[in-house]
Amino acid sequence: MSELEPETPTDFEELDRALPVAQAPVVVASPDIEEPSISAVAPATVFVPQAPTPGATGTRIIVFANQKGGVAKTTTTLNLGVAFKEMGYHVLLIDLDPQGNLTMSQGLNPDTIETSMFDVLVRKIPISDVIERREVDLAVASIDLAGAELALAALIGRERSLEKALVEVRDRYDFILIDTPPSLGLLTINAFVAATGVIVPVQCEYLALRGLVQLENTLTMVRENLNPRVGIEGIVPTMYDGRTLHAREAVEILEENFGDLVYRTRIRKTVRYAEAPVKGSSVLGYDPTGAAAEAYRELAKEVLHGAQASEHA
């Protein structure tokens, strides 16, 4: 055996083998309603962080994660970050999604960016070298990030690449918000290892609810092997349409199974969220007095109040 060859598996290999497969809930049809009813999601054992602002610096590193795509992760990351900045906080956004939607939402083209989070994670360049000053500071993604998981797989300590990169800038920010890809792969694991908490945007429909159990299973394994303090600190119902029974039932199931973790703010469907990125802007910059912007300002207050409640519990 080579001297450089580890005798035991790395943390991520242990995590990969130990990860349980969630049992899919069963859809129960109801004869009394026209729309299909949603069966209850099996309650998960949810870890609630005792203090969402650990660490000497008090910096909160919040990961926005959901292995299902199209649930408004990027929209929530950007607009919540801008809402925090409006409140006077120093904010850094990190685009860890190879699709680069967060980067594009601030008017940048991931296909033409030469230095990005790929270089930070794999080539170990300082993260400050890839931060662009936009509505808020943004560590950008490029098309190269699609190869990051394969490149990281050969590195020792691969799960902690992001955590180590953030040491350089952590003291400069009150909030670091991380947009992750729609998967539970190595990029998302890196985000969980660096995080003080996870916020889960969940589209208000049945199929979007099923992934929550698997996400919590993954976080359990991360806590056991890599980051004992990380857990779900909040769930954001997104794309909510109160006119449909299906959306209302979805929120009821979330509240029944996750209780106070579900934020009261509902992010409702509106074309404003699609229009704003075309202008390279958050919805708070694009339509600052509209209902969509106000929703994220309310969500920002909830996230802050949740932290304060935990600190004084």
pLDDT tens across 215-249, in order? 999 999 999 999 999 999 999 999 998 788 888 98
For residues 265 and 295, what is the distance between their CA atoms, to the nearest angstrom? Answer: 7
Mean pLDDT over residues 256-269, rounded? Answer: 93
For residues 282 and 111, what is the distance between their CA atoms, to the nearest angstrom? Answer: 21
Range of the domain at 257: 55-311
DSSP result, 119-185: HHHHS---GGGGEEESSSEEE---GGGGGHHHHHTTSTTGGGHHHHHHTTTGGG-SEEEEE--SS-S
User: Given strand 131-133, what is the order of strands in its sheet?
Assistant: 131-133, 137-139, 91-95, 175-179, 60-64, 197-203, 232-240, 267-268
In this structure, the dihedral spanned by the alpha carbons of residues 15, 166, 105 and 238, taken in order and rounded to 10 degrees, is: 50
pLDDT of residue 307: 54
Q: Cα 215 from chain centroid?
A: 11
Structure tokens that stand for 92 in this block: 């850094």
DSSP secondary structure letter of residue 262: B
- Using the predicted structure, report yes or no on whether residue 46 has a pLDDT greater than 70: no
Type of residue at 176: I
pLDDT of residue 55: 37
* Residue 47's pLDDT band (cuts 50, 70, 90): very low
For residues 110 and 102, what is the distance between their CA atoms, to the nearest angstrom? Answer: 10
Mean pLDDT over residues 128-134, rounded? Answer: 97
For residues 21 and 165, what is the distance between their CA atoms, to the nearest angstrom? Answer: 31
pLDDT of residue 210: 75
170: in domain: yes
Element holding 61 (H helix, E strand):
strand 60-64
- Using the predicted structure, report yes or no on whether residue 16 has a pLDDT greater than 50: no
Total tally of structural domains belonging to the chain? 1
161: in domain: yes
Taking the CA of residue 305 as centre, how many other CA atoms within 13 Å lie in the half-sphere pointing to its CB?
11
37: in domain: no
- Using the predicted structure, report yes or no on whether residue 162 has a pLDDT greater than 90: yes
252: in domain: yes
- Using the predicted structure, report yes or no on whether residue 23 has a pLDDT greater than 70: no
Q: Are 188 and 159 in contact (CB under 8 A)?
A: no
Structure tokens that stand for 157 in this block: 């300590």
Type of residue at 137: D
Backbone angles phi, psi at 240, to 5 degrees: -80, 130
Q: pLDDT (tens digit, 9 = 90+) per residue, 173-213? A: 999 999 999 988 999 999 999 999 999 999 887 776 777 88
Q: pLDDT (tens digit, 9 = 90+) per residue, 67-96? A: 888 899 999 999 999 999 999 999 999 999
pLDDT of residue 278: 93
pLDDT of residue 308: 53
263: in domain: yes
In this structure, of 22-36, 93-107, 290-304, the range with the lowest mean pLDDT score is 22-36
For residues 141 and 268, what is the distance between their CA atoms, to the nearest angstrom? Answer: 28
- Using the predicted structure, report yes or no on whether residue 282 has a pLDDT greater than 70: yes
7: in domain: no
DSSP secondary structure letter of residue 270: -
Cβ neighbors of 181 (< 8 A, separation 6 or more) are: 96, 97, 98, 99, 187, 188
Instruction: Check which CATH number belongs to the domain holding 217 and give it.
Output: 3.40.50.300
280: in domain: yes
pLDDT of residue 231: 95
204: in domain: yes
- Using the predicted structure, report yes or no on whether residue 53 has a pLDDT greater than 60: no
CA angle 101, 106, 108 (to 5 degrees): 75
Closest CA to 283 of 293, 274, 291, 297: 293
Query: If you compute the radius of gyration of the chain from its CA atoms, what whole number of angstroms results?
Result: 19
Is 226 strand, coil or helix?
coil
